[in-house]
Amino acid sequence: MRAVFDSNVWISAFRFKGRPLELVLKAAEGEFELYTSQSIMDETARVLREKFNAQQPEIDEALKIMSAAARKVEPSINLDVVKDDPKDNHVIECAVAAGAHVIVTGDKKHLLKMGEYQGIKMMQVAEFLGQQRGR
């Protein structure tokens, strides 16, 4: 199973622990293949800094964990498929580049509402975690 986490999942793992962190640990242990992109890493760092007042050492540690748990891909296409929030296109671009089966996100307004894109299913953390536990 190949997955991409939206930045909100990474941020939840770093700030609030719980299920999102459990998924990051499962990926780090090789239970599924996790992918990210520079764009998702940049967005995660920016939100940690701007919304959570994270200091640079904390941001550096988060990026280090992301690099260890996920393989980085460079999307080669630009998509315009998230009409309500075009800044979310980069998450789908990453998933396409990774050949992902699923995007794990908490974005109910945009990504989850799409349901799927070209066979890539949009799932919430709890749903994906339940699927991983059931293996």
Q: Token digits for 64? A: 């280090």
Q: Which residue has the higher pLDDT, 46 or 81?
A: 46
pLDDT in tens, 68-93: 999 999 998 888 888 777 788 999 99
Residue 75 makes CB contacts below 8 A (sequence gap 6+) with: 37, 39, 90, 93, 94, 96, 97
Q: Token digits for 12? A: 């939840």
* Cβ-contact 116, 91 below 8 angstroms: no
Nearest to 62 by CA among 100, 115, 5: 5
pLDDT in tens, 100-119: 999 999 988 888 899 999 99
Q: Work out how many domains the chain is built from and give that number.
A: 1
Return the CATH number at 61.
Answer: 3.40.50.1010
pLDDT of residue 17: 92
What is the mean pLDDT of the segment spanning 47-54? 97
User: Is the pLDDT reported for residue 135 higher than 70?
Assistant: no
Domain encompassing residue 95: 2-133
